């Protein structure tokens, strides 16, 4: 019988206290595996009601925007697990505001959380991922595929992450690891109440209009991607594919559409 992929695996989830990361946790606790759960509020992560008896949870309090906290989390993890089969690089924040209204502190905080922290963390745990010939699965966004209006800091931080992880993927071509970037569409989570306004206050915005995925649906896709070392850039739906292709075929047309579709988003910020 084929071994279930997740059985006996060591899985790291950043941003496991809310939204997509929490949904990953709720799916994965059904397997006999070890889960390393990172977040600033890791201490508040409750034991799920239904859980496999041999699933072990390790909670690690970590602020990705603070290099010393990230270093502590790396050392803590390395003392407790001897390999990493899947690293879900999932934690992140959004920042809403026009290019010229976002303060430099907001650009820096967004990059600290979405780029420098994840890079430091992945870099630190890379020996354990290499040892397992594991997978690094990043929860990214279609906003990483093109600079989206009203999201300069968010788009830039996520697309910088794409570039760095693509470099890693090529450099480790012969090492047997997977590095994938999953561009998630609008999903029902706390993202719009946990991010930053242009001047650095906590965002309090209504959910995006139109169709949204549930965190569970997204978690299930991320888990499938984690099984596929050939997965590179994954988009979910037509709007993701549209952005992916139009940036090459007709950026002018794409920019007009983004201007019109997101006008209210950036004119009001
Ligand atoms: N929701 C969407 O529509 C959507 C679309 C595309 C991509 N995404 C991406 O999905 C990922 C997960 O976000 P979500 O939608 O699930 O939002 P969420 O509900 O706000 O969850 C974000 C998670 O990231 C953690 N986090 C934030 N800042 C952190 C920091 N400084 N250090 C450590 N952990 C931190 C949070 O934990 P603590 O607050 O406890 O630290 C939380 O667990 C993000 O990378 C986001 O960019 C979301």
Task: Label residue 1 by pLDDT band (50, 70, 90).
Answer: very low
| Whole-number percent of the chain with pLDDT over 70 | 98
Q: Looking at residue 264, what is its pLDDT?
A: 80
- Residue partners of 208: CB distance under 8 A and separation at least 6: 186, 192
Q: With a 6 A CB cut-off, is 240 part of the ligand 1 pocket?
A: no
251-265 pLDDT tens trace: 999 999 999 988 887
pLDDT at position 269: 63
Ligand 1 centre distance from Cα of residue 92 (Å): 4
Sign of CA dihedral 56, 60, 65, 68: negative
Compute, in angstroms, the gap from residue 91 CA to the centroid of ligand 1: 4
SS3 93: coil
Q: How far is the CA of 189 from the centre of ligand 1 (A)?
A: 8
Compute the average pLDDT of residues 38-52. 95
Give every CB contact of residue 84 below 8 A, 6+ residues apart in sequence.
10, 11, 12, 36, 77, 125, 128, 129, 131, 132, 134
Work out which ligand 1 atom sits closest to the CA atom of 17: 43
Q: Which of 33-37, 247-251, 255-259 has the highest mean pLDDT?
A: 33-37
Q: Give the chain's mean pLDDT.
A: 95
- In degrees and rounded to multiples of 5, residue 189 shows phi and psi of -145, -170
SS3 (DSSP) at 134: coil
What's the pLDDT at 218?
98
Total-model pTM: 0.97
In this prediction, residue 120 carries a pLDDT of: 98
What domains are defined for the chain? 10-267 (3.40.50.720)
Pocket test for ligand 1, best of 13, 25, 91 (most atoms within 8 A of CB): 91
Q: Is the CB of 154 under 6 A from ligand 1?
A: no
- Report the separation in Å between the CA atom of 229 and the middle of ligand 1, taken as the mean of its atom positions: 24
**Cα 90 to averaged position of ligand 1 atoms, centre (Å):** 7
Which atom number of ligand 1 is nearest to the Cα of residue 143? 6
- 237: Cβ below 6 Å to ligand 1? no
Question: Is 64's C-beta closer than 6 angstroms to any atom of ligand 1?
Answer: yes
Atom of ligand 1 nearest to the CA of 41: 40
Tens of pLDDT, residue by residue over 180-195, are 999 999 999 999 999 9
Long-range contacts of 190-195 (CB under 8 A, 24+ apart): 190/18, 190/19, 191/19, 191/93, 191/94, 192/94, 194/18, 194/93, 194/94, 195/93, 195/94, 195/95, 195/96, 195/154
Q: For residues 66 and 54, give the distance between their C-alpha atoms in angstroms, rounded to a whole number.
A: 33
């Amino acid at each position: 019988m084929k071994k279930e992929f997740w059985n006996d695996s060591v899985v790291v989830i950043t941003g496991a206290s809310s939204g997509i990361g929490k949904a990953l946790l709720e799916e994965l606790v059904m397997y006999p595996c070890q889960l390393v759960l990172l977040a600033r509020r890791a201490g508040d992560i409750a034991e799920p009601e239904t859980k496999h008896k041999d699933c072990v949870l390790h909670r690690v309090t970590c602020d990705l925007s603070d290099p010393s906290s990230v270093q502590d989390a790396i050392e803590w993890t390395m003392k407790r697990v001897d390999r990493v089969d899947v690293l879900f690089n999932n934690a992140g924040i959004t920042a809403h505001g026009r290019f010229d209204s976002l303060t430099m502190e907001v650009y820096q905080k967004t990059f600290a959380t979405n780029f420098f922290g994840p890079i430091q963390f992945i870099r630190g745990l890379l020996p354990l991922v290499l040892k397992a010939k594991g997978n690094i699965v990043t929860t990214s966004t279609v906003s990483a595929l093109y600079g989206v209006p009203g999201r300069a800091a968010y788009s830039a931080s996520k697309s910088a992450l794409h570039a760095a992880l693509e470099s890693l993927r090529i450099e480790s071509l012969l090492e047997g690891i997977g590095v994938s970037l999953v561009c998630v569409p609008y999903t029902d989570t706390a993202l719009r109440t946990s991010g930053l306004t242009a001047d650095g206050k906590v965002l309090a915005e209504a959910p995006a209009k139109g169709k949204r995925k549930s965190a569970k649906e997204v978690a299930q896709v991320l888990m499938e991607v984690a099984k596929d070392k050939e997965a590179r850039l994954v988009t979910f739906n037509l709007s993701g594919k549209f952005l992916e292709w139009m940036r090459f075929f007709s950026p002018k047309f794409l920019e007009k559409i983004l201007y019109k579709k997101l006008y209210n988003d950036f004119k009001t910020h």
